[in-house]
């Protein structure tokens, strides 16, 4: 048998590969992948921190009623999105 190729370690992480506090919904390794409030379906919205099926449906209902979001700030107008939830969600979403 020969030696293992250099730099290959099963289960090892690449240097600088994972950001501390990882947990980006849906797409590991792509921290800049934002969820579009105007196109996301229920399942995608539920991947956001603190968003369950009820809040995800409220976001969709607000979007339908108002013809879509024109800014991320409008997320604060959705029933159930208070200051704390907005502060958590704002960096994770786009329009």
Domain residue extents for the chain: 47-94
Angle among Cα 39, 42, 48 to the nearest 5 degrees reads: 85
79 or 4, which is more confident?
A: 79
Query: How confident is the model at residue 4, as a pLDDT?
Result: 52
HEC string of 66-83? HCCCCCHHHHHHCCCCCH
Cα–Cα dist 20/24, whole Å: 11
Summarize pLDDT for 35-75 with one digit per residue, the tens: 999 999 999 999 999 999 999 999 999 999 999 999 999 99
Q: What is the mean pLDDT of the chain?
A: 81
Query: How confident is the model at residue 22, as a pLDDT?
Result: 41
Q: The whole model's pTM is what?
A: 0.67
Query: How confident is the model at residue 58, as a pLDDT?
Result: 98
Average pLDDT over residues 72-89: 97
CATH T-level fold of 47-94: DNA polymerase; domain 1 (1.10.150)
């Amino acid at each position: 048998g020969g030696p293992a190729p250099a730099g290959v370690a099963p289960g090892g992480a690449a240097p600088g590969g994972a950001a501390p506090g990882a947990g980006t919904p849906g797409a590991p390794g792509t921290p800049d992948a934002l969820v579009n409030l105007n196109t996301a379906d229920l399942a995608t919205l539920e991947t956001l921190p603190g968003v369950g099926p009820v809040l995800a449906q409220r976001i969709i209902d607000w979007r339908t009623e108002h013809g879509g979001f024109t800014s991320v700030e409008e997320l604060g107008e959705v029933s159930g999105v208070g200051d704390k939830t907005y502060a958590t969600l704002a960096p994770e979403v786009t329009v």
